Structure 1
Amino acid sequence: MKITGIDTIPFAIPYRKPLRFASGEVHTAEHVLVRVHTDEGLTGTAEAPPRPYTYGETQESIVAVIDKIFAPQLLGRSALEREAVHGLLDRTVGNPTAKAALDMALWDILGQAAGLPVSGLLGGYTDRMRVCHMVGFAPAARMVAEAERVRDTHGITTFKVKVGRRPYTDDVAACRALREALGPEAELYIDGNRGWSAAESARALREMEDLGLTFAEELCPADDVLGRRRLVSQSTIPFIADESATRAAEVTRELLGGSATAISVKTARTGFTASQRVLHLCEGLGVEVVMGNQIDGQIGTLCSVAFGAAHRSAARRAGELSNFLDMADDLLAEPLIIEDGALRVREGAGLGIAVDPEKLARYRQDG
């Protein structure tokens, strides 16, 4: 089953409202649809979401690195040789979402060839995941209104609140308003996207001690090495490493160095193969993982839930699986539906991705 072609299709779908956070804001999902074709007629599909302010990738760079560097190395190889493929991809530094999309597309092919869902091949722990919704920067009243709408409409009771503004008091006030509105049964955790210093983080956490936060994520930059270690050592809240722990070696560094006590796994940046390595490393070290979100569309979200539901440790916490709700449209022929606060794995062979050709023609950017 040889790889005969790789398509990279840039597309752009606007958001109904921008998502704002400390390291940037997103108004349009400018992603890349990646398709890997084989000589047996099977096609694997995935989505690569560039985040230039986090990993340095752009829509144009993803297309270029796949078309000009990765595809020439992969054409003619067996689609089942994932380790050999990773050996080739790893010769090129960086480009995490481009590599991840290729990996997930190959797993999609593997599932189709076996006649089994990818989630089952990865582990098959459960058929659904609880959903966590990400609430971006806005006045406190609007953040509360969004959280209440998502709770009442979709049954979601876990919320990741974007913080990192200056002054930090705006974020403290927003978190307090969310707790008061949602009640003690809601789970709240905060994500600073490196927006605060260690000192600001410490002060903000002291002011939120009574809010019962579940996690704190990337409140200050990874380069603030000593500050992060002091912050983590003094806090009773588990600290999640996200942007600072994008591969297994970085996970080891952050955990053993005392800069984090939990890890965010994002299939959009580590695919399925490297995400399993990160997950198993965390299990071996006895730390929790959460399934993060790269502000994915529905295709990326489908991949996240397939991986998260496959593993007991990943399915334990609600995954960040709802940001596609803010997009004006999507590419899937059968849209995802969140019911009773959960998202189900797609049934059928592979990942179950079926792209609507009319929508792809409407939103693609390559003419």
Structure 2
Amino acid sequence: MKITRVEAIPFAIPYRKPLRFASGEVHAAEHVLVRVHTDDGLVGVAEAPPRPYTYGETQQSIIAVIGGLFEPQLVGLSPLERETAHARMHATVGNPTAKAAIDMALWDVIGKALDQPVTALLGGYGDRMRVSHMVGFDDSAKMVADAQRVREEHGITTFKVKVGRLPYTLDVEACRALRAGLGDDVELYVDGNRGWSAADSARALDELADLGLTLAEELCPADDVLGRRWLVQRSPIPFVADESATTPGEVTRELLGGSATAISIKTARTGFSASQRVLFQCEGLGADVVIGNQIDGQLGTACSVAFGAAYRRTSNRAGELSNFLDMSDDLLTEPVRITGGEVFVRPGSGLGVEIDPDKLAHYRQDT
């Protein structure tokens, strides 16, 4: 079985409302559907969500690098030759979500060829993950109402609160309102997207100490090296590296340098293969992990669940798997569903998903 074609199809689906956080704001999911075709007629799929304010990729840059560089390098390879595929793609620097989507599409092809779920091929630990929901910037009362609605409709009891506004007191107020409005049986943690200084982060954590927060993610910039180390040393809860730890080398740097004590794994930027490397590094170093979200659609969410459910360590915490709820539609024939606060691995071979051709025709942007 050989790779014959790699497609990169741009599509755009509006969000129900703009998503706001310290590093940017998005109004539509302007993503790229990646399809890897083989001479056996199998097609693997994955989703590449560009985040120009985080990784420098755009929808058009993903299309260009896949069509202009990666496809010629991959055609003729077997989908099993993943290390060769990675070596050829990594000769080009950057472009993490383009590379990740191709990697996950290759795993989807392999699963279909073997008639096995990707989760089973990766590790086979479980068949579901608990869900954490992201609460974005807004008026405190609206943030509480959103979280209460999500808990009532989907059974979700873990919430990631976006912080990082200036002044930081706005976020302290929001966190306090969420704890008061949701009660003590709900897990809360915070993500600053590098929006605060180290000093503001420390003051905010002190003021939030009685709320029982479980994690603090990227509160201040990683290149504030001394300030970040000082903050992590005094943090009473695990400090998660996300945007600062996008490769196995960066993970090593952040953990051994004292700039983080936990790592966010996002399959949208490291695929399945590099995510394995990151996970195993964290296991060896005793660092906690959480399955993060790149504001993925349902296809990207299915990928995150397939990976997260495959291992005990990634199954320990709720994964950030609900951002697709903010999209007005999606591309899958059978939608991802959150039931009792959990998402199940899709049944069937590979990723277990199919793309609805009518929806793709409606939302694609290259025709």
What is the TM-score with the length of structure 2 in the denominator? 1.00
DSSP-derived class of the 1:310 partner: coil
**1:45 partner SS:** strand
**What does 1:2-151 correspond to in 2, within 5 Å?**
2-151=2-151
Query: 1:78: how far off?
Result: 1.0
Q: Quick one: distance in 1 between partners of 2:355 and 2:85? A: 25
SS of residue matched to 1:346: coil
What is the CA–CA distance in structure 2 between the aligned matches of 1:19 and 1:135, rounded to whole Å? 9
Aligned residue pair count: 367
- Counterpart of 1:263 in structure 2 is 263
Looking at structure 2, the residues matched to 304 and 3 of structure 1 have their Cα atoms a distance apart, in angstroms, of 24
Letter in 2 for 1:56: G
- Distance in 2, matches of 1:235 and 1:322, equals 28
Q: Deviations over 1:209-242 (max 9, x none)?
A: 1010000000000100000000010111110000
Instruction: State the shift of 1:79 in Å.
Output: 1.2
Q: Is 1:252 paired with 2:245? A: no
> Aligned partners of 1:361, 1:22: CA distance in 2, in Å?
34
1:282 maps to which residue? 282
Q: Residue type of the partner of 1:196?
A: W
User: 1: CA distance between counterparts of 2:308 and 2:314?
Assistant: 5
Amino acid at match of 2:343: L
Secondary structure, in 3 states, of the residue corresponding to 2:324?
helix
The letter for the 2-side match of 1:55 is Y
Partner Cα distance (1:257, 1:79) in 2: 37
1:245 partner SS: coil
Deviations 1:135-160 (A, max 9, x none): 00000000000000000000000000
Q: What is the one-letter code of the residue matched to 1:324? A: F
Matches within 5 A, 1:150-165: 150-165=150-165
Q: Which runs of 4+ in 1 moved over 6 A?
A: none
One-letter identity of the residue aligned with 2:208: M
CA distance in 2, matches of 1:17, 1:261: 33
Q: Which residue of 2 aligns with 1:188?
A: 188
Q: Which runs of 5+ in 1 are unaligned?
A: none
SS of the residue 1:354 aligns to: coil
Q: Aligned partners of 2:185 and 2:35: how far apart in 1?
A: 42
AA aligned opposite 1:39: D
> What SS is found at the alignment partner of 1:193?
coil
CA deviation vs aligned residue, 1:226-285 (integer Å, no higher than 9, x gap): 000000101111100000000110000000000000000000000000000000000000
Q: Which amino acid aligns with 2:97?
A: T
Q: Which residue of 2 aligns with 1:294?
A: 294
> What does 1:284-323 align with in structure 2 at a 5 Å threshold?
284-323=284-323
Query: Identity over the aligned pairs, expressed in percent?
Result: 74
Distance in 1 (CA, whole Å) between partners of 2:20 and 2:189 is 17
Offset of residue 97 of structure 1: 0.0
Q: CA deviation at 1:77?
A: 1.0
2:306 and 2:199 map into 1 onto residues whose CA distance is 38
Q: What does residue 204 of structure 2 align with?
A: 204
For 1:334 and 1:36, locate their aligned partners in 2 and report how far apart those are by CA, in whole Å.
Answer: 21
Shift, 1:176, TM fit:
0.2
- Per-residue deviation, 1:314: 0.3
Residue 308 of structure 1: how far off its partner (Å): 0.1
Instruction: Letter of the 2:360 partner, please give it.
Output: L
In structure 2, what is the equivalent of residue 226 of structure 1? Answer: 226
Separation in 2, partners of 1:234, 1:326 = 35
Calculate the aligned-residue CA RMSD, in Å: 0.4
Give the TM-score normalised by structure 1.
1.00
Q: Which amino acid aligns with 2:139?
A: P
Aligned partner of 1:359 in structure 2 is: 359
Deviation, structure 1 residue 353: 1.6
Supply the distance in 1 between the matched residues of 2:249 and 2:353 (Cα, whole angstroms). 31
